[in-house]
Amino acid sequence: MSEERSLNFIEEIIEEDLKGGKYKSIITRFPPEPNGYLHIGHASSICLNFGLTKTYPGYTNLRFDDTNPVTEETEYVDSIKEDIKWLGFEWKNELYASDYFGELYQFAHKLIDKGLAYVDDSTSEDIAAMKGTPTEPGKNSPYRERTIEENKRLFEGMKNGEFPDGSKTLRAKIDMAHINMLMRDPILYRIKHAHHHRTGDDWCIYPMYDFAHGQSDSIENITHSICTMEFIPHRELYDWLIEKLEIFPSHQYEFARRNINYTVTSKRKLLQLVNEKYVEGWDDPRMPTISGLRRRGYTPESIRDFCDRIGIAKRDNIVDVGLLEFCAREHLNKVALRRMVVFDPIRITLTNYEGGGEQLQTENNPEDVNGGVRNISFGKHLFIERDDFMQNPPKKYFRLAPGQMVRLKSAYIIRCDEMVKDDAGNVTELLCTYFPESKSGSDTSGIHVKGTLHWVNADDSIEVVVREYDRLFRVEDPSSEEGDFKEYLNPGSLKLVTGHAEPSLKNAAVNDRFQFLRKGYYCLDKESPSDKMVFNRTVTLKDGWKK
């Protein structure tokens, strides 16, 4: 391994396992439940699991943890696969916990045969009541001592649909006084007469997480089963089941879930935002979902870079969304095509300009030597940003003001001579002179100006719609605030504005990335209508100008 980069604790474990000869190669898995869309937190787990088998010999499976038919849908399966591929990873095998329902059923019988599982007729309330509390032991179920034969018969009956939902469960027989609540005779199987997105109506009993996850890991010979910290208490049960079942000893390792400020990443909360129409869907560009970030204009590279930078550790964290934005700018700066778009225009008339149809050349991307150039048309009537003019400028104002000169990007230097005002005294137009000898690339004017402005030709610019996104929430950690998290939504998270764009933007495609000069990074929305193009603002440019 390279010496420069320090290893995270999971990589350290793997290196030791490899060095010590415990394994020759490793197998990891990414195990989403298909009950929602993947978000930035999942991206971290994906980069970890798939990244590990890029650095070390081995492979990574994609396994859907689909053991709860009532919340899971094929739509989610499809979106998850799309997101992983888009992020740039390939799984070795596409697998489903539901593939193992038959095997899992046999495992359950094995446990019953060993006297380590029993069928319980208690209601869920009774089971909860007998569970005890973290400080008090639980009580044994009255059904705990059924014979192996009776348990086998009843469990088979459960499988054959002889009993209604909720009437019986299969439980592991461990210890109702165990210090770890999860070891107090955990439920292994429950009855659900529900349609499953893959197995249809073949089954009416479904294994619980604890009786599916570790067993699936084992079946696939997963060497390193990586999950988040809240599963630490499950590890004891994970190991217990593997030991009693005498199957391949996969091992579970836990890392801290990554949190980001000004958003939420619980599937329950994201689902609420979608269902209650606070956003337009799972892929709303304000959502922290992979599909939202994609639609917003984030690149896979920038997301992978982000995951890399925040690393993997075991302590609680709230990562500043500013780092995600930095990663976006970092990549986009290298790849985005530069275009000029004026948002809030003020009209300029060049009083001494008489040319017509003049074409100027400008670079598509100064960061990319192979980026090429394009033509932009100059003319007598132009638009610049209203912000780029001030009637009474402060001392360090480099932009346009009465009597002041600026360069128009890739064009000429102009001087503001006169303001035209309406009856209310608002400036509606600026009358300027241009300096013909100051043309970009062949400037012999000898004039030096501090400011360079973006502009468009008023006579051929096209109008586009631009969606300016801001953070979804007003507070850093909506979940920790008093009351409903939705009270903390940012009412200004979406603003629609009109942009006056240079005509070349007509050719924009969905996967193109643009920098609108001096403004930010933008991309064409995937549902942009052809008659009025819609662009999403990914992130603004850093603004170093202190007023």
Restricting to residues 73-112, name those near RNA by CB under 7 A.
Answer: none
Stretch that binds RNA, among 81-89, 304-312, 350-358, 422-430 (CB under 7 A): 304-312
Stretch that binds RNA, among 103-111, 229-237, 289-297, 503-511 (CB under 7 A): 229-237
Pick from 309, 421, 506, 532: which binds RNA (CB under 7 A)? Answer: 309
Q: Is the dihedral of CA 461, 532, 293, 96 positive or negative?
A: negative
- Considering the complex, what minimum distance in angstroms separates the CB of residue 286 from RNA? 20
Residues 467-496 binding RNA (CB under 7 A) are 480
Residues 30-49 binding RNA (CB under 7 A) are 33
Q: Closest CB to RNA among 232 and 534? A: 232
Pairwise CA distance, residues 79 & 99, whole Å: 20
DSSP string, 255-314: EPPP-BTTS---HHHHHHHHHTTSSSSTT-TTSSBHHHHHHHT--HHHHHHHHHHH---S
257 as an active site residue: the answer is yes
If binding is defined by CB under 7 A, does position 392 make contact with RNA? no
List CB contacts of 104: < 8 A, sequence separation 6 or more. Answer: 207, 211, 212, 215
338 as an active site residue: the answer is no
Q: Closest CB to RNA among 24 and 547? A: 547
- Considering the complex, what minimum distance in angstroms separates the CB of residue 210 from RNA? 7
Q: Pull the structure tokens for residue 270.
A: 């994201």
Catalytic residue among 152, 257, 269, 374: 257
Q: Closest CB to RNA among 494 and 505? A: 505
Site string for RNA, 149-168 (x = CB under 7 A): ----------------xxxx
If binding is defined by CB under 7 A, does position 443 make contact with RNA? yes
Packing angle, helices 300-310 and 74-87, rounded to 10 = 80
424 neighbors 469 (Cβ within 8 angstroms): no
304 as an active site residue: the answer is no
If binding is defined by CB under 7 A, does position 397 make contact with RNA? yes
Query: 137-153 as b/e, with b when 16 or more CB fall inside 10 Å?
Result: ebeebebeebeeeebbe
Pairwise CA distance, residues 274 & 268, whole Å: 10
The one-letter amino acid at 130: M
Burial class (CB in 10 A: 0-12, 13-18, 19+), 86: middle
Total of chain residues touching RNA, rule CB under 7 A: 92
- Considering the complex, what minimum distance in angstroms separates the CB of residue 417 from RNA? 20
Pick from 109, 144, 374, 409: which binds RNA (CB under 7 A)? Answer: 409
256 neighbors 317 (Cβ within 8 angstroms): yes
If binding is defined by CB under 7 A, does position 318 make contact with RNA? yes
Pairwise CA distance, residues 97 & 336, whole Å: 42
Residues 189-208 binding RNA (CB under 7 A) are 190-192, 206, 208
Q: Which residues are catalytic?
A: 33, 257, 267
